[in-house]
């Protein structure tokens, strides 16, 4: 593998649970109200908020619902088990970009493929996913209009099996991030293209145990890839059992910076992020689990950070005028929130202002599964309860 000169930073993040400046006055948590859904949603459903639509994805079928909970359109991306769609993003025109992986040949044993994610009612942290189908070697992207019309389909052969975890799109192109199967285990993979589907060569990070969970495209076509690893990357060894990693690539694909986020004798992961480089993910030491939330500068230095006791799974969304949203299952009182001391893990949605102070707090039933925001719909939270999956709005 070609060696690159990189700027290396190590972030043990041994900060106190709340480093960013506190809110100027105590905040009261208010309950969110669930939408009335015309049709049920399953726990393996992925959600994207795009303008006036809430887009819901299940493997190879996508549908959109409106603010009233009724279905506006539905589209089957493929027939049979030849493709699995796993990530979504929207562009400024309202088009929806869906990414996944496809097989070159007809699947011989489709029964070997799990049809849905396993139910995890206790929201226990699990190790990163790995590609489960050796035949899914094609990176596939479907471009869909906001009225549900399939506009384009693009593919790129990765040669080996891959699982796409994230897609980012801007006016200059799109980038996929995920996991690539290797002889030793799995590496992270990044695949970029212009808007016409002209793909560049895949970029691989690690070789045996590295995962890319989310990608962000900069306005200069640089790419930020976030995930986790147990491997030595760019000459830097793992500081914990598993480290969160952030890799920055130039528009030409050159690795220009690599940051490791670690906790002593523990596990760190970055699992969700916004275009403003607000990153969230679990931090675990023994049985102690926290949600780590950090806003980074473009040079990957931390601007502000928080740690909250949680069950681990955490989701981020970009709000208006520099605000950031984070949703997680909270397990304890939080400084600055006057009426929050849950007797059991409870879903909590926090709003942070442009300086990192907590500006608002909302709660909902169930365990958070997805989070999004649009000017039309406000903040939208999807969560899984004991009996059903619900969608909540914050306008």
Residue carrying structure tokens 């969230």: 280
Q: How confident is the model at residue 128 (pLDDT cuts 50, 70, 90)?
A: low
The predicted model gives 21-27 an average pLDDT of 64
pLDDT at 222 over 80: yes
3-state secondary structure of 3: coil
pLDDT at 15: 42
48-62, 82-96, 102-116, 257-271, range with the lowest pLDDT: 102-116
Cα 235 from Cα 228, distance rounded (Å): 16
pLDDT at 6 over 60: no
Number of neighbours of residue 121 by Cβ within 10 angstroms: 11
For β-strands 30-31 and 378-384, DSSP reports them as: unpaired
pLDDT at 124 over 70: no
pLDDT at 18: 47
Cα distances from 121 to residues 299, 315, 369, in angstroms, run 38, 17, 11
* CA-CA-CA-CA torsion sign (71, 213, 324, 169): negative
Instruction: Answer with the residue of higher pLDDT: 17 or 25.
Output: 25
Q: Answer yes or no: are the C-beta atoms of 259 and 234 closer than 8 Å.
A: no
pLDDT at 368: 97
Residues above pLDDT 70, as percent of the chain: 86
15-29, 195-209, 215-229, 297-311, range with the lowest pLDDT: 15-29
pLDDT at 26: 87
pLDDT at 3: 41
pLDDT at 8 over 90: no
pLDDT at 80: 62
Question: Per residue in 322-358, pLDDT tens?
Answer: 999 999 999 999 999 999 999 999 999 999 999 999 9
Cα 219 from Cα 269, distance rounded (Å): 25
pLDDT at 11: 45
The predicted model gives 231-259 an average pLDDT of 97
Q: How confident is the model at residue 25 (pLDDT cuts 50, 70, 90)?
A: confident
**In the CATH scheme, what is the code of domain 7-104+125-394?**
2.130.10.10
pLDDT, the chain, mean: 89
The predicted model gives 136-144 an average pLDDT of 96
Cα 73 from Cα 315, distance rounded (Å): 26
pLDDT at 363: 97
0.75 surpassed by pTM = yes
pLDDT at 4: 39
The predicted model gives 181-209 an average pLDDT of 97
37-46, 64-73, 102-111, 214-223, range with the lowest pLDDT: 102-111
Choose among 187, 196, 96, 205: nearest CA to 148.
Answer: 96
pLDDT at 394: 85
The predicted model gives 204-230 an average pLDDT of 97
Question: Per residue in 102-115, pLDDT tens?
Answer: 998 654 443 343 33
The predicted model gives 191-207 an average pLDDT of 97
51-60, 106-115, 134-143, 322-331, range with the lowest pLDDT: 106-115
pLDDT at 1: 41
* CA-CA-CA-CA torsion sign (251, 252, 254, 256): negative
Domain residue ranges of the chain, discontinuous segments joined by +: 7-104+125-394
């Amino acid at each position: 593998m070609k060696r690159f000169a990189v700027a290396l930073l190590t972030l043990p993040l041994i900060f106190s649970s709340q480093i960013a400046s506190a809110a100027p006055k105590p905040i009261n948590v208010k309950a969110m109200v669930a939408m009335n859904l015309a049709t049920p949603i399953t726990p393996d459903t992925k959600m994207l908020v795009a303008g006036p639509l809430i887009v819901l994805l299940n493997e190879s079928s996508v549908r959109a619902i409106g603010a009233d909970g009724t279905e506006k359109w539905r589209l089957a991306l493929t027939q049979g088990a030849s493709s699995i769609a796993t990530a979504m993003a929207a562009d400024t025109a309202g088009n929806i970009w869906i990414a996944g992986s496809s097989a070159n040949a007809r699947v011989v044993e489709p029964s070997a493929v799990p049809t849905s994610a396993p139910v995890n009612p206790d929201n226990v942290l699990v190790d990163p996913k790995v590609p489960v189908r050796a035949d899914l070697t094609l990176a596939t992207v479907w471009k869909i209009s906001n009225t549900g019309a399939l506009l384009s389909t693009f593919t790129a052969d990765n040669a080996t099996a891959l699982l796409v975890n994230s897609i980012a799109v801007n006016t200059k192109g799109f980038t996929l991030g995920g996991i690539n199967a290797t002889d030793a285990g799995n590496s992270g993979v990044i695949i970029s293209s212009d808007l016409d589907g002209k793909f560049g060569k895949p970029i691989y990070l690690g070789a045996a145990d590295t995962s890319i969970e989310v990608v962000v495209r900069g306005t200069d076509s640089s790419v930020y890839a976030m995930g986790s690893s147990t491997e030595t990357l760019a000459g830097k060894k793992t500081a914990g059992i598993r480290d969160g990693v952030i890799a920055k690539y130039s528009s030409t694909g050159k690795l220009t910076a690599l940051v490791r986020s670690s906790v002593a004798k523990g596990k760190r992961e970055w699992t969700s992020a916004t275009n403003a480089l607000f990153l969230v993910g679990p931090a675990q030491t023994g049985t102690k689990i926290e949600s780590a939330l950090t806003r980074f500068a473009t040079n990957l230095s931390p601007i502000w950070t928080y740690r909250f006791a949680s069950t681990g799974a955490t989701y981020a969304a970009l709000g208006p005028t520099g605000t950031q949203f984070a949703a997680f299952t909270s397990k304890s009182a939080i400084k600055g929130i006057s009426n929050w001391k849950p007797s059991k893990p409870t879903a909590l949605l926090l709003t942070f202002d442009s300086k990192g102070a907590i500006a608002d707090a909302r709660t909902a039933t169930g365990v958070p599964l997805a989070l999004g925001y649009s000017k039309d719909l406000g903040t939208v939270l999807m969560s899984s309860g004991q009996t059903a999956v619900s969608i909540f709005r914050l306008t």
